[in-house]
A = this chain, B = another copy of it.
C-alpha cells in the first residue's frame, strides 16, 4: 500500500519485529474471533454504520448475529472511505482469504461462512498470533478479575482502575471490591488488589480520565481525587507504570451504539497533571491523548519530565491523518528510549494486524522521509529506532 521504494523496504523490515502490544481489551479466554460478528461487532463498525444511517434494530443482544453483520456490511458503501473499513478489508484478505477489491453485501454470506469455518480451527488463535507477529499482548482487567486460566506471560495483566476512582460510590462496585478483597476498607482493599495483580504478573495500572480531571494531593480526603492519589502511591510501591488515558467524556451521545457514546473536549492540558508528575518521580506515566494539540503538549512534557512517556495513538486520534504528524513530532523531540510507539486497543486479536500495519506504514514513511533520505540515520539505524518503538521500550518500561 506504500508507493515509495525506500518506505516499502523499511516497512518490510519493520514487520519482522516481534510485537509487544502494551494495551488491548483482549479477553484472554476468547482472544480470537469465532465469527464475523465478533469482527464487525467492534464499536468502530457499529458507530460508523449508525452514524451513516443504520438503525440500531440489529444491534441488541437478541438479534441474529448474521442479520447484524449483514446490516453493517450493507452500509459499508457509506463509509468505505474510512481507515476502519481498510482494517476490515485487510482482515478479510489476510485471515479469511477474501480476494475482492471491495466488500459488498454480495460477499456477506461467503465471508460469514468462511469465518465460521476458519475460526473454528483449534489452532486459530495461534495462527492469528503468528501471522500478526505478536509476542505479548497486554490486557485491561477489571479489579476483580481472578486472572486465572490463561498464560500471563503471553497475555499480560493490567489493572484497570476506572471503577475504583470514578464509581466507588456505587453499591455494586463496593460489593465487587469487598468480594474480591475480603474487606470493606478501600485502602486495604486497594493494597490487596495490587498484591493480587502483581503476584499474577500484572505490568501496569491504567485509567481513563475526563478532560477536566486534575489530580492534586490534599485537595480532598475522599472521592475520585483521593483514590487516584492512593493508586499512584501503590504504583510507586509496587513499581508499576501508571497508564493515563486522558481526555474522554463518557456518554456524550446518549443514544449511541454500545461503546459508541463517548467523545472529547479539546480544552484540556497536561499542566493539570504537573503536581502528579512532580510528586511521583519514581512512577513512569505512559500518557495517551485524544488530539494533536494534546499530542504537542505531550511531546513537550515527555521531553522535560523523565517519568512522562508518550503512549500510542489513542481512539479518535488513531487514523493516519493524526498519527503521521503526531509521530513525526515525537520522533523529532522525545528521546527515542521513551517512546511507546503503538498499541492495538483491540478487543479481538484479528485487529492487531491491520492496526499495527497502518502504524508501521506511517512509521516506515516517516523514517524514510525524516531520517534515511536526509541522512540522519542509515536504514539499519532506522530499523533499530522502530524496534525501540514497537518492542524494546515496552519491554524495558513495563519490565515485560
Instruction: Name A's B-contacting residues (CB within 8 A).
Output: 1-3, 47-48, 50-53, 78-84, 86, 101, 249, 252-256, 260-271, 274, 277-278, 281, 290-294, 296-297, 299-306, 316-317, 319-322, 325, 328-329, 331-338, 370-371, 373-378, 385
Smallest Cβ distance from A281 to chain B, in angstroms? 7
Measured in the bound complex, the distance between the Cα atoms of B370 and A77 in whole Å is 18
| Cβ-defined contact, B274 with A51, below 8 A | no
Known: A48-B335, A333-B319. A249 touches B271 (CB 8 A): yes
Smallest Cβ distance from A376 to chain B, in angstroms? 6
Smallest Cβ distance from A121 to chain B, in angstroms? 30
Measured in the bound complex, the distance between the Cα atoms of B332 and A380 in whole Å is 31
Measured in the bound complex, the distance between the Cα atoms of B262 and A373 in whole Å is 34
| Cβ-defined contact, B253 with A52, below 8 A | no
| Cβ-defined contact, A329 with B319, below 8 A | yes
Residues from chain B with Cβ under 8 Å of A47 in the complex? 303-304
Residues from chain B with Cβ under 8 Å of A335 in the complex? 48, 51-52, 78-79, 81-82
Residues from chain B with Cβ under 8 Å of A79 in the complex? 335-337
List 17 contacting pairs A-B, 8 Å CB cutoff, sorted by A.
Answer: A3-B374, A51-B302, A51-B335, A52-B337, A252-B304, A254-B278, A263-B304, A264-B300, A265-B269, A266-B293, A266-B294, A266-B297, A267-B267, A267-B268, A291-B293, A292-B292, A292-B296
Which single residue of chain B is at the shortest CB-CB distance from A292? B296
| Cβ-defined contact, B48 with A303, below 8 A | yes
Q: Which of B3, B277, B334 contacts A253 (CB 8 A)?
A: B277
Which single residue of chain B is at the shortest CB-CB distance from A43? B304
Residues from chain B with Cβ under 8 Å of A252 in the complex? 271, 274, 304
| Cβ-defined contact, B329 with A300, below 8 A | no
Residues from chain B with Cβ under 8 Å of A334 in the complex? 51, 82
Residues from chain B with Cβ under 8 Å of A1 in the complex? 374-376
Which single residue of chain B is at the shortest CB-CB distance from A254? B278
Measured in the bound complex, the distance between the Cα atoms of B83 and A53 in whole Å is 37
| Cβ-defined contact, B304 with A373, below 8 A | no
Known: A81-B385, A82-B333, A267-B267. A299 touches B320 (CB 8 A): no
| Cβ-defined contact, B305 with A332, below 8 A | no
Residues from chain B with Cβ under 8 Å of A293 in the complex? 266, 291-293, 296
Measured in the bound complex, the distance between the Cα atoms of B317 and A291 in whole Å is 17
Residues from chain B with Cβ under 8 Å of A254 in the complex? 278
Which single residue of chain B is at the shortest CB-CB distance from A4? B373
Residues from chain B with Cβ under 8 Å of A377 in the complex? 81
Residues from chain B with Cβ under 8 Å of A374 in the complex? 1-3
Smallest Cβ distance from A274 to chain B, in angstroms? 5
| Cβ-defined contact, B338 with A52, below 8 A | yes
Residues from chain B with Cβ under 8 Å of A263 in the complex? 270-271, 274, 297, 300-301, 304
Which single residue of chain B is at the shortest CB-CB distance from A297? B266
Measured in the bound complex, the distance between the Cα atoms of B388 and A81 in whole Å is 12
Known: A291-B293, A291-B297, A332-B320. A255 touches B281 (CB 8 A): yes
Measured in the bound complex, the distance between the Cα atoms of B303 and A361 in whole Å is 24
Residues from chain B with Cβ under 8 Å of A262 in the complex? 304
| Cβ-defined contact, A269 with B267, below 8 A | yes
